[in-house]
């Protein structure tokens, strides 16, 4: 990493156990508590800096209140807005499958942070991309059924 800078971020993803087959068969422990998850993000910030400077939290796994805590613990990226997320939901996550850019910005601001749309390499996204994204609404259930 020190030679190439090949990793742009670290994304600790907590195990969502509630409906995971391995958990239901009694072959794994429960996933981490919210406290353990927040601590993992905080330790990642301390241990990886300055070699990996972006620590991402998954709003799908942590929910709005959890990502606010993560932002206070060293996270600087909430990942994507996602559309029709199914992996975490299938495992029992209950924080939703879609989030509009406006909703994400509200969560970030309520945590006392300034939202910024970025590219894959963490550069600022062109202003036009941000404006287009903010004008997109999450698909409704009816639209999802029509696509599916």
pLDDT in tens, 62-89: 989 999 999 999 999 997 655 555 655 5
DSSP 66-81: HHHHHHHTT--B----
pTM of the model: 0.78
Q: Residue 124's closest CA among 132, 115, 113?
A: 115
Taking the C-alpha atoms of residue 43 and residue 49, their distance in angstroms, rounded to an integer, is: 10
Q: What pLDDT does residue 112 have?
A: 96
Across the range 101-121, mean pLDDT stands at 91
């Amino acid at each position: 990493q020190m030679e190439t800078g090949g990793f742009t971020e670290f994304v600790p993803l907590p195990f969502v156990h509630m409906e995971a087959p391995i958990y239901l068969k009694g072959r794994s422990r429960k996933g981490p508590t919210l406290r353990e998850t927040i601590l993992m993000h905080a330790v990642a910030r301390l241990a990886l800096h300055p070699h990996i400077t972006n620590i991402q939290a998954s709003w799908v796994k942590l929910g709005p209140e959890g990502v606010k805590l993560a932002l206070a613990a060293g996270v600087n990226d909430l990942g994507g807005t996602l559309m029709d997320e199914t992996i975490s939901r299938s495992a029992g996550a209950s924080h939703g499958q879609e989030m509009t850019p406006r909703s994400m910005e509200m969560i970030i601001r309520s945590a006392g942070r300034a939202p910024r749309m970025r590219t894959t390499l963490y550069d600022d996204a062109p202003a036009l991309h941000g404006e287009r994204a903010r004008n997109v609404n999450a698909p409704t259930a009816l639209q999802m059924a029509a696509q599916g």
